[in-house]
Structure 1
Amino acid sequence: MRLNNLGVSEARINGDFVAAGEYFKQALESQPGCFICRYNLGRSFIATNQYSDAHGIFERLVREDPKSAGALSSLGEVLSLLGDDPGAIPLLEKSLDLDPNDAITLNNYGISLHNTQNFKKALKAFDQAIAIQPNMAEAHNYRGITLYQLGKKKKALKSLRRADSLQPNVAEVKNNLGVVLEKLGKKKQALSHYLEAVKIRPNFGNAVFNLALIYIRIGKRDEAQKQLKSLEKFDALLARELRKVLWGKYVVDASAARFKN
């Protein structure tokens, strides 16, 4: 188990899941049937975005031990990451039947419920996760998104601000704050958050798109055009949508004005 433990230390202390994965693989060379080694290798695959490989591992682990809450939860998480939230939900529910106080599983359950537009159940799951682990930024973020979907913008803003205070350098949270603030009529604050989101992740398409839109709304055409040029480099679909908005605002509107004159 020494190699497995070295992998765990590498992941926890250094955050190096690639190196951790190599330790787990070495551990499995000497102990091919080691359940925890395979479990940890699967978790390292999730951390390094190797979802298909992780799926194969956790699917086998669940077959071997259908009552392993961790394996069930991880398989559900992987399915969600692969876009199969309807398939993830029953696995996460089985895991919660075995371990109802696992905050991470509750959070992942809430995410899958949110992704399938079951917003009220999702909100309950996020509330439960936060009650167990109050400083889970991801749960506060998704809680805010869910509240926004339910039309509760002020409560959404509070949750998103909590997420931002816990992890202040997450572009997704900054972008979400911008969306909610803009809907609440606070354009200057929204603009500030979009700018922060793009600064953290310059290739974050949604944030660049939202930043361009707010520039259009406040009459800063040149700034919006700059965001379009940026977007064209990494997201052709969003760039095309933004081009349509710019065309409608500055070309069609101008033509209409000339017609009236």
Structure 2
Amino acid sequence: MSDEQKTTDLPTVISDLEKVVKEKPDNVVARHHLGLVYRQAGRVEEAITQLEKAIELDDQSMESMINLGAIHFDLGDTEKALKLNEQALAISPKMAEAHVNIGLIRQHQNRVADAIESYSTAIQIDPKLLTAWINLTSAYTMNEEDAKAVEAAREAVTLEPDSAMARNNLAVALYFKGDFAESKQNLEKAKELGYSVDPRFIDALNEKLG
């Protein structure tokens, strides 16, 4: 789900944006960004209020829809999250990020085949979208399509060799495909890059390698 670049000086940014919104209540951009920093600060209800207001002021505000959907997904309301991403797609059918988000929702609902379809659509639109390849890898793994999982994982690593998650996903996909030595190499790389690897996976892999 969408999550824009983190802001470090939250109190100052919040204060500045609140002043803008107070002076210009119809400023969609200010409300959108205020919603984002509220979310980052853990002020979830206020974030929802600002993003909803941004959409009310501008019914074409796709980024507000995407980020509001992310909040509802985190809160466990997948139906609201799905509706908001579908609303964004109705405005811009080639919005790859929304297709990825819908895939993530479907995967969370155990609709894995539908998730794969959504991720694949996102990749057709933007072949360099890393999150689409990473999520597609995990969906193929869930669906026990091990060769396809490895292929997707390799694409993700090619796009971003220093992505810890892509490396871990490749390690997992290779494990299920039976390529234990290469799995171990990518697992070590994921750890080196700071990924918190599941200890159970480490134990299972070491057992396979003897």
TM tier, smaller: 0.7 to 0.9
Q: Which residue pairs with 2:134 in the alignment?
A: 175
Q: Which residue pairs with 2:65 in the alignment?
A: 106
Q: Residues 222 and 252 (structure 1 numbering): CA distance in 2 closer, same or farther, change over 3 Å?
A: closer
1:116 aligns with 2:75: yes
Aligned-pair identity in percent equals 25
Q: Residues 185 and 227 (structure 1 numbering): CA distance in 2 closer, same or farther, change over 3 Å?
A: same
Contact 1:76 1:87 in 2 (8 A): yes
Deviation at 1:248, TM superposition (A): 3.2
Contact 2:146 2:176 in 1 (8 A): no
- How many residue pairs align between the two structures? 206
Q: Which residue pairs with 1:222 in the alignment?
A: 181
Q: Which residue pairs with 1:147 in the alignment?
A: 106
Write the distance in 2 (CA, Å) between the matches of 1:144 and 1:136.
Answer: 13
Could you say what the CA RMSD is over the residues aligned between the two structures, in angstroms? Answer: 2.5
Deviation at 1:165, TM superposition (A): 1.2
Write the distance in 1 (CA, Å) between the matches of 2:181 and 2:24.
Answer: 59
Q: TM-score, normalised by structure 1?
A: 0.70
Query: Can you give the 5+ residue segments of structure 1 that lack an aligned partner in the other structure?
Result: 1-45, 255-261
Q: Which amino acid aligns with 1:247?
A: D
Q: Which residue pairs with 1:259 in the alignment?
A: none
Q: What CA deviation, in whole Å up to 9, does each residue of 1:169-220 have, x standing for no partner? A: 1211101111112222221111111111112112222221111112222222
Write the distance in 1 (CA, Å) between the matches of 2:92 and 2:191.
Answer: 40
1:184 is matched with which residue: 129, 143, 150?
143
Q: Which amino acid aligns with 2:48?
A: I
Q: Which residue pairs with 2:206 in the alignment?
A: 250
Q: Secondary structure at the match of 1:135?
A: coil
1:74 aligns with 2:30: no
Write the distance in 1 (CA, Å) between the matches of 2:168 and 2:42.
Answer: 23
Deviation at 1:148, TM superposition (A): 1.3
Q: What CA deviation, in whole Å up to 9, does each residue of 1:13-47 have, x standing for no partner? A: xxxxxxxxxxxxxxxxxxxxxxxxxxxxxxxxx98
Deviation at 1:159, TM superposition (A): 1.4
Alignment of 1:201-240 (within 5 A): 201-235=160-194, 237-238=196-197
Contact 1:85 1:115 in 2 (8 A): no
Write the distance in 2 (CA, Å) between the matches of 1:135 and 1:189.
Answer: 24
Deviation at 1:118, TM superposition (A): 1.2
Contact 2:68 2:84 in 1 (8 A): yes
Deviation at 1:143, TM superposition (A): 1.1
Write the distance in 1 (CA, Å) between the matches of 2:159 and 2:15.
Answer: 33
Q: Secondary structure at the match of 2:110?
A: coil
Higher helix share: 1
Structure number, greater radius of gyration: 1
Contact 2:180 2:208 in 1 (8 A): no
Q: TM-score, normalised by structure 2?
A: 0.85
Deviation at 1:66, TM superposition (A): 2.8
Query: Can you give the 5+ residue segments of structure 2 that lack an aligned partner in the other structure?
Result: none
Q: Residues 129 and 50 (structure 1 numbering): CA distance in 2 closer, same or farther, change over 3 Å?
A: same
Q: Residues 122 and 227 (structure 1 numbering): CA distance in 2 closer, same or farther, change over 3 Å?
A: same
Q: Which amino acid aligns with 2:90?
A: A
